[in-house]
Amino acid sequence: MTKNAHFVLLLIFAVSRLALSQPPVNLDEYKVLDQSRFIVTYEVMMTKDSLKPTEHKFDRLVLMVGDSISTCYSNTMHRFDSAYTIRCAHKGRDSYQGLRHFVGENGDVWVPDVYKYYIKKQMTVMHRMEVPGNFVPVYLYEEPLDLMDWQMSFDSKEILGYQCFKAECDFRGRHWTAWCTMQIPVQDGPWKFCGLPGLILQMEESRGHYAFRCIGIETRKKPIVWYNNVDYQSCTHADVVKQMEDYHADWNAYVRRVFPGKIVRAKNDGSFEKVSVGEKKVLPYNPAELE
């Protein structure tokens, strides 16, 4: 099958199901950056459509904290990548079809992976676009670690047996409340959050659209790795925001731009019809970063 024909079949599948899954990553080629001291698991709650505030999606994030580096990633996506890597060894690079059950019917998983470099005071974000096909680039951008201006308070509560203190910040259009414990002296937390005098165990967004909740902490050594066999495309945070805005503003136009040519959708009788060039498809857009 030619590459173009392969893309067309992917587009048929994607449009007919009205859902996409992120391109997979081959985990075979990597370099070790650090060794973990703590492995922290969070449940993340996401509200993908602000007009449906009671409809939530859930994923699990893993934060691996080393001496000089940490990484935070979706456990669901890691399982997806692992299954793809096994298939690659037997069937080649195009073997990601049939793995949708890992990411769910609507692919509602936490997309960005974040690497925090404590000494350089910098983070690297690996962001996958929700477009089918492992020929789609994975976007890579860097940001400073000190993005949050925290306001500490004396409020406290216990989480998982740890005494936690309250802190708040405004971050890119959302107000967040954090609970961190100084009993684990690691200035880190889920996603991009960091900079408090202890491990963040809980994060809540004021509108109830997003939340992170720690559900497990392990003291365990495990390699923190960077994957080499990935088509990374360097960009800025603003570039990714623009890509995501375009994708949700008109999914049909975005897919045409990524994969030039016609796209089709399945009809109830099993046949296919062409999606016209002027036909617009808007998707709900309620990102964690509004700015």
User: Does the pLDDT at position 112 exceed 70?
Assistant: yes
Q: Are 174 and 210 in contact (CB under 8 A)?
A: yes
Q: Are 107 and 74 in contact (CB under 8 A)?
A: no
Alpha carbons 63 and 73: distance in angstroms, whole number: 7
Counting DSSP H helices and E strands in the chain, the numbers are 4, 15
Phi-psi region of 128 (alpha: psi -120 to 50; beta: other; left: phi over 0): beta
Q: Give the pLDDT confidence score for residue 18 in this predicted structure.
A: 35
Q: Which residues of 73-95 are buried (b: 16+ CB within 10 A; e: fewer)?
A: bbebbbebbebbbebbeeeeeeb
Q: Give the pLDDT confidence score for residue 97 in this predicted structure.
A: 55
Q: Give the pLDDT confidence score for residue 212 in this predicted structure.
A: 98
Range in 18-22, 79-83, 196-200, 287-291 the model is least confident about = 18-22
Type and span of the H or E element at 76: helix 75-91
Q: Give the pLDDT confidence score for residue 47 in this predicted structure.
A: 95
**Structural Rg of the chain based on CA atoms:** 20
Stretch 140-147: mean pLDDT: 96
- What backbone torsions phi and psi does residue 148 show, to the nearest 5 degrees? -105, 135
User: Does the pLDDT at position 120 exceed 60?
Assistant: yes
User: Does the pLDDT at position 222 exceed 90?
Assistant: yes
Q: Are 224 and 100 in contact (CB under 8 A)?
A: no
User: Does the pLDDT at position 204 exceed 90?
Assistant: yes
Range in 136-150, 153-167, 191-205 the model is least confident about = 136-150
Stretch 86-114: mean pLDDT: 64
Biggest CA pair distance of the chain: 63
User: Does the pLDDT at position 9 exceed 70?
Assistant: no
User: Does the pLDDT at position 96 exceed 80?
Assistant: no
Contacts of 192 (CB under 8 A, 6+ apart): 114, 123, 125, 143, 147, 171
Distances (CA, A) of 87 to 3, 73, 82, 94, 178: 19, 21, 9, 9, 40
Stretch 201-213: mean pLDDT: 97
Q: In degrees, to the nearest 5, what angle opens at C-alpha 150 toward C-alphas 149 and 151?
A: 125
Range in 23-32, 87-96, 209-218 the model is least confident about = 87-96
Indicate the pLDDT class of residue 19, thresholds 50, 70 and 90. very low
3-state helix, strand, coil in the chain (%, to 5): 20, 40, 45
Burial of 19 (0-12, 13-18, 19+ CB in 10 A): middle
Q: pTM of this prediction?
A: 0.85
Q: Give the pLDDT confidence score for residue 91 in this predicted structure.
A: 58
Type and span of the H or E element at 44: strand 30-46
**Tokens at residue 251, please?**
């999914």
Alpha carbons 122 and 256: distance in angstroms, whole number: 35
Q: Give the pLDDT confidence score for residue 4 in this predicted structure.
A: 41
Between these two residues, 25 and 165, which has the higher pLDDT value? 165
Q: Give the pLDDT confidence score for residue 130 in this predicted structure.
A: 65
**Tokens at residue 112, please?**
């960005």
The number of residues in the chain equals 291
What pairs with residue 170 in β-bridges? 175
Stretch 147-168: mean pLDDT: 96
Q: Give the pLDDT confidence score for residue 22 in this predicted structure.
A: 54
User: Does the pLDDT at position 272 exceed 90?
Assistant: no
Indicate the pLDDT class of residue 153, thresholds 50, 70 and 90. very high
Alpha carbons 218 and 226: distance in angstroms, whole number: 21
